[in-house]
């Protein structure tokens, strides 16, 4: 199994986990103390955050092997995208909700995994 497909599957699994934990916490934990609700939120989001952090290091390792001269560009693009994405995710979550924002994120990660060519494949087809 390719690492990128494993990473995409981990993101989907973590998304399902987050939705289950969020639904349970939303239903049962409203009366819990704030500290316990924060722990429940961390338990719900940590697997998703970990899984969404996997594609960049995996892609960077591959890029370092195939096109080492592009590694600084990858770091720069990642830094810029991280700043823009954090602000955009907050605005999207406020406007459309956390679930919609997370579903969009998963769709973008799956799309990125899909368009990244397999090793040895020609980028032009």
Give the pLDDT score at 111: 83
Query: Which whole-number Å values give the CA distances from 79 to 22, 92, 108, 119, in the listed order?
Result: 29, 20, 17, 25
List pLDDT tens digits, range 66-125.
Answer: 999 999 999 999 999 999 999 999 999 999 998 898 888 878 877 877 777 666 555 544
Is 22:48 a contact under the CB 8 Å cutoff? Answer: no
Give the pLDDT score at 124: 47
The 3-class secondary structure across the chain, one letter per residue, is CCHHHHHHHHHHHHHHHHHHHHHHHHHHCCCCCHHHHHHHHHHHHHHHHHHHCCHHHHHHHHHHHHCHHHHHHHHHHHHHHHHHHHHHHHHHHHHHCHHHHHHHHHHHHHHHHHHCCCCCCCCCC
Q: Which residue has the higher pLDDT, 18 or 76?
A: 76
Q: Which residue has the higher pLDDT, 77 or 8?
A: 77
């Amino acid at each position: 199994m390719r690492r990128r497909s494993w990473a995409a599957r981990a993101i989907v699994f973590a998304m399902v986990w987050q939705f289950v934990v969020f639904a349970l916490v939303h239903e049962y934990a409203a009366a819990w103390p704030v500290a316990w609700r924060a722990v429940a939120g961390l338990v719900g989001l940590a697997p998703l955050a970990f899984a969404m952090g996997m594609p960049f290091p995996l892609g960077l390792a591959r890029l370092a092997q195939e096109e080492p001269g592009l590694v600084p560009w990858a770091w720069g693009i990642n830094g810029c995208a991280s700043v823009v994405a954090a602000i955009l995710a907050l605005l999207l979550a406020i406007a459309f909700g956390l679930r919609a924002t997370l579903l969009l994120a998963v769709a973008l990660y799956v799309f990125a995994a899909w368009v990244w060519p397999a090793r040895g494949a020609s980028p032009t087809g």
